[in-house]
Amino acid sequence: MLVAGGAGYIGSHTCKALARADFEPVVFDDLSNGHADAVRWGPLVVGDVRDSAAVSACMKAHAVSAVIHFAGLIEVGRSMHEPALFWDYNLNGVASVLAAMRVNGLNRIVFSSTAAVYGQPGGDSGELLDEDAPTVPINPYGESKLAAERLIAAHCRAHGVQGVALRYFNASGADPEGEIGEAHQPESHLIPLAIEASLGLGPRLTVFGRDFSTPDGACIRDYIHVADLAEAHVRALDAPVGDAGFVALNLGLGRGLSVLDVISAVSRATGRATPFTVGPRRPGDPAVLVADPSRARAVLNWRPAHQTIDDIVATALAWRLNPRFGPASATSAARVA
């Protein structure tokens, strides 16, 4: 199994789940944002997914049968300032992997897509998003991911192969066994930043906007545990894809929480207040993104095990307090690169 971007946050948790299901994950990653220390369940090949010949050589050398593609750039806010970079990594990276799949006769790809393909679904209506909701992204990150999905779907039609796009909502938490966790550098995600602030290890958190049309004025998201995402990837490897050869599935809990709800959960977990100030909105942020995950439940027979924000935050906090967290991983990534 080729896992492009498998040294990263969601990819490494998926490698662990793959190994548990008796697959050997072969990680292909340029370590630009990943960690060599997080690659523990199979070999690591260091390379850039945009280099199709290198991807193809890796597929051949390890006789892989399918691809799970995580590699790419992920930060909504950064995409507003560096759009060309996001299109390059997120679209050309996929085109390159698809070309390598053709060379090697591989016929299934599972792709990391995102709730950001839906854009701005509209205020505090509380409406859950199913996969037939309009896809009108409002930031270059979402645009590049939607374009990649469409390229995969077209490739499936043209070449008779099979694709599954998993549209994650907000990945969160850490391996419940404490082996791996979230270590983005720099970190931009809400839960790890709130934990840092609450423990007094990082700056006061800034809440990006309290003037949204939501009950408490803050953004609402659907936080889904990374181990549940990992399990969905294993199931997606043999999921039915229909006549079109391509299916898109939402992965979320179907429950929206505001930034302030998350801050409260972090304070409960640490037993300390989480200091925050309210700042302006972050460009590119929609007000509300909450999944209707019914299709994923049906197609993947998937039941997320982590159902509460307290459970999710508890695993993230345990990881932050784990001696394995952070600098050690960063050092080793730098050493290998």
Ligand X SMILES: NC(=O)c1ccc[n+]([C@@H]2O[C@H](COP(=O)([O-])OP(=O)(O)OC[C@H]3O[C@@H](n4cnc5c(N)ncnc54)[C@H](O)[C@@H]3O)[C@@H](O)[C@H]2O)c1
User: Which positions are annotated as active-site residues?
Assistant: 141
The residues facing 305 across adjacent strands are none
Contact pattern for ligand UPG over residues 168 through 187, marking x by CB under 6 A: -xx-----------------
The two tokens of residue 294 are 């019914």
In this chain, which of 193, 253, 288, 318 binds ligand UPG, going by CB under 6 A?
Answer: 193
Minimum distance, C-beta of residue 127 to ligand UPG, in the bound complex (Å): 16
Check binding of 239 to ligand UPG (CB under 6 A).
no
Contact pattern for ligand X over residues 100 through 139, marking x by CB under 6 A: ------------x-x-------------------------
- Phi first, then psi: give them for residue 21, nearest 5 degrees: -95, 15
DSSP string, 240-305: --TTTTEEEEEES-S--EEHHHHHHHHHHHHTS---EEEEPPPTT--SEE-B--HHHHHHH----S
Check binding of 221 to ligand UPG (CB under 6 A).
yes
- Judged by CB under 6 A, the chain residues 154 through 193 that form the site for ligand X are 168, 170-171, 184
Classify each residue of 21-42 as buried b or exposed e, where b means 16 or more C-beta atoms within 10 Å of its C-beta: eebebbbbbbbebbbbbbbebb
Cα–Cα distances (Å) from 92 to 67, 69, 143, 270, in that order, read 16, 12, 13, 42
Check binding of 3 to ligand X (CB under 6 A).
no
- Judged by CB under 6 A, the chain residues 277 through 336 that form the site for ligand UPG are 282, 285, 289
Which runs of consecutive H residues, i.e. helices, occur in 32-92?
Answer: 52-62, 76-81, 83-87
Check binding of 120 to ligand UPG (CB under 6 A).
no
Number of residues in contact with ligand UPG under rule CB under 6 A? 22
The residues facing 113 across adjacent strands are 167
Minimum distance, C-beta of residue 272 to ligand X, in the bound complex (Å): 25
- Judged by CB under 6 A, the chain residues 269 through 288 that form the site for ligand UPG are 282, 285
**Gap between the Cα atoms of 124 and 50, Å rounded:** 39
Match 């909502």 to its residue by tokens.
Answer: 169
CB-nearer residue toward ligand X: 275 or 332: 332
**Gap between the Cα atoms of 174 and 170, Å rounded:** 13
Check binding of 189 to ligand UPG (CB under 6 A).
yes
In this chain, which of 188, 264, 294, 322 binds ligand UPG, going by CB under 6 A?
Answer: 188
Minimum distance, C-beta of residue 172 to ligand UPG, in the bound complex (Å): 8
In this chain, which of 205, 257, 269, 317 binds ligand UPG, going by CB under 6 A?
Answer: 205
Minimum distance, C-beta of residue 236 to ligand X, in the bound complex (Å): 13
**Gap between the Cα atoms of 118 and 133, Å rounded:** 7
Number of residues in contact with ligand X under rule CB under 6 A? 27
In this chain, which of 1, 2, 3, 11 binds ligand X, going by CB under 6 A?
Answer: 11
**Gap between the Cα atoms of 109 and 101, Å rounded:** 9
In this chain, which of 2, 3, 15, 31 binds ligand X, going by CB under 6 A?
Answer: 31
Q: Using CB atoms within 10 Å of the CB of residue 192, give its burial: 0 to 12 exposed, 13 to 18 middle, 19+ buried.
A: buried
Q: Which helix (H) or strand (E) holds 102?
A: helix 93-104
CB-nearer residue toward ligand UPG: 42 or 252: 252
Rule CB under 6 A: which residues touch ligand X?
Answer: 5, 7-11, 29-34, 48-50, 70-72, 74, 89, 93, 112, 114, 168, 170-171, 184
